[in-house]
Amino acid sequence: MRALCWQGTGKVDVETVPDPEIIDQRDAILRVTSTAICGSDLHLYDGYIPTMQKGDILGHEFMGEVVEVGREVKNLTQGDRVVSAFSISCGNCFHCRRELWALCENSNPNWRMLATMFGFPGAALFGYSHLYGGYAGGQAEYVRVPFADIGLLPVPEDLDDEKVLFLSDVFPTGYMAAENCGIQSGDIVAIWGMGPVGQMAAVSALLLGADRVIAIDRFPERLRMAEEHSGAYAVNYEETDDLVEFLKELTGGRGPDSAIEAVGMEAHSTGPGGIYDRVKQTVRLETGRPTALRQAIQACRPGGTVSIPGVFGGVIDKMPMGAAFAKGLTFKMGQTHMPRYMRPLLDRIVQGQLDPSFIITHRLPLEQAPEAYKVFREKDDECIKVVLNPGP
Ligand code: NAD
Ligand code: ZN
Ligand code: ZN
């Protein structure tokens, strides 16, 4: 089959590789019909995630048709159309039984590496380094899905791929980020980063009762999308002298009720803080540039919540913990507990409350994935979300 393989920092290729096979009786094999490139893939592309190996197949946002199932997968049959969770959960361990699916203790065969880094084993992810299990991803013609009875959600035939594809990651991720804010009616939610996750967090905040969303980014097309689809008040931080003060001014001097950090460890920054982070990162004394997170903490109103879907790893510097403590902030974060959200959000799509496909700006065949990664990384051509089609 053809698959998109990581070759080294900044280099991916489409190659012919062996077809996947059932290895465990809870596996399923999918013929991938649509797959997307995610902001999280850029952390791999840019070389921030260790333990990638030449030839690893990327991709954790995918859907397709079931072509084969193991004997123990009782809820799916050949021909079912399904969307996959980006993470892999066993359904039986301590955390899975508590619906903390992202913390599954059984799916990652390389759990020791994660436990050494972070102190605990965590769920495996598709196409996301050997640290996260070394599973082949779904930017390919076919993919093996372990624990398929848990991670695959059947979708109705009458909904196009594009309407349901984002149940694989960014819709649940944006929704959980908004849910983590504990939104009350009338709340104002500020969101840093208007990529797909930020866009989904914005529409979800409205679904959960927020009065207004403030969208923060520097790319006009991303801000425009948030204005159009969430009625957001758009703030271009590059055109704002003091973002934290500006956000306070916008919210009666108090600050937004919740602050969502949908940027992660590669935040863009130009000021002295940004130079400091870059130097420390270069000499490996810091593993991320937490510009947006610092601002979120500083801007959030006393008693508010800072919700962090943006991915961080390792250690970051100069966290304004004094401000966080003095203001009695609540912090919520982490990888999305996918199976908790996929079905209820599919119901919302079926009921017509939302169509997440508005984030798609580029549609390309899998063979053009290397160009797609470049365009997506550089945000050329107003690129926000790329869908790849492996089919003929
Ligand atoms: P993306 O790269 O498309 O979007 C990030 C956005 O942040 C960009 O629009 C960028 O311009 C903006 N940005 C950069 N620096 C900023 C700053 N200082 N202030 C405000 N905005 C800034 O990525 P995405 O696909 O939307 O993902 C966003 C984050 O969510 C990434 O870190 C990704 O890894 C993470 N993520 C987490 C989960 C999870 O389970 N928690 C799942 C999916 C993605
Ligand atoms: Zn993703
Ligand atoms: Zn588990």
> Which ligand lies nearest the alpha carbon of 128?
2
Q: Please tell me the pTM assigned to this model.
A: 0.96
Q: What is the pLDDT of residues 130-153, one digit of tens each?
A: 999 999 999 999 999 999 999 999
pLDDT of 280: 72
What whole-number distance in Å separates Cα of residue 139 and Cα of residue 68?
18
Give the chain's mean pLDDT: 95
Q: Which residues contact 360 (CB under 8 A, 6 or more apart)?
A: 162, 384, 385, 386, 387
The predicted pLDDT at position 281 comes to 74
Q: What does the pLDDT average to over 315-342? A: 95
CA distances from 110 to 14, 43, 122, 124 (A): 26, 19, 10, 9
CB environment 240-252: b (16+ within 10 A), e (fewer): eeebbebbbebbe
pLDDT above 80 (res 288): no
At 39-50, the pLDDT tens digits run 999 989 999 889
Instruction: Tell me how crowded residue 2 is: count the other CB atoms within 10 A of its CB.
Output: 17
The pLDDT value recorded for residue 127 is 98
For ligand 2, an ion, list residues with CB under 5 A: 38, 40, 61, 169
pLDDT score at 289: 78
Query: Ligand 1: residues within 6 Å at CB?
Result: 38-40, 42-43, 169-170, 173, 192-198, 216-219, 222, 237, 262-264, 267-269, 291-292, 309-311, 335-336
Query: DSSP string spanning 120-163?
Result: S---EEBTSTTTTT-B--SSBSEEEETTHHHHEEE--TTS-HHH
Residue 256 confidence (pLDDT) above 70: yes
Compute the average pLDDT of residues 267-272: 80
What does the pLDDT read at residue 286?
67
pLDDT of residue 287: 66
Q: CA nearest 149: which of 78, 64, 76?
A: 76
Task: Please tell me the distance between residue 38's alpha carbon and the centre of ligand 1 in angstroms.
Answer: 9
Give the relative orientation of helices 291-299 and 243-250 as an angle to the nearest 10 degrees.
Answer: 30
Query: Residue 35 Cα, ligand 2 centroid: separation in angstroms?
Result: 10
- Over range 323-341, report the average pLDDT: 98
Lowest mean pLDDT among 173-177, 261-265, 361-365: 261-265
Q: Give the whole-angstrom CA distance, residue 151 versus residue 69.
A: 13
pLDDT at 105: 95
Which of 37, 40, 225, 335 should be mutated for ligand 1, with most atoms under 8 A from CB?
Answer: 40
Span 84-109, mean pLDDT?
97
Which pLDDT belongs to residue 243?
A: 97
**pLDDT-based confidence at residue 297 (cuts at 50, 70, 90):** very high
pLDDT at 299: 98
pLDDT above 70 coverage of the chain, percent:
98
Residues 192-211, mean pLDDT to the nearest whole number: 98
Q: Is 54 exposed, middle or buried (0-12, 13-18, 19+ CB in 10 A)?
A: exposed
Percent of residues, the chain, with pLDDT higher than 90: 88
| Residue bearing tokens 């009762």 | 209
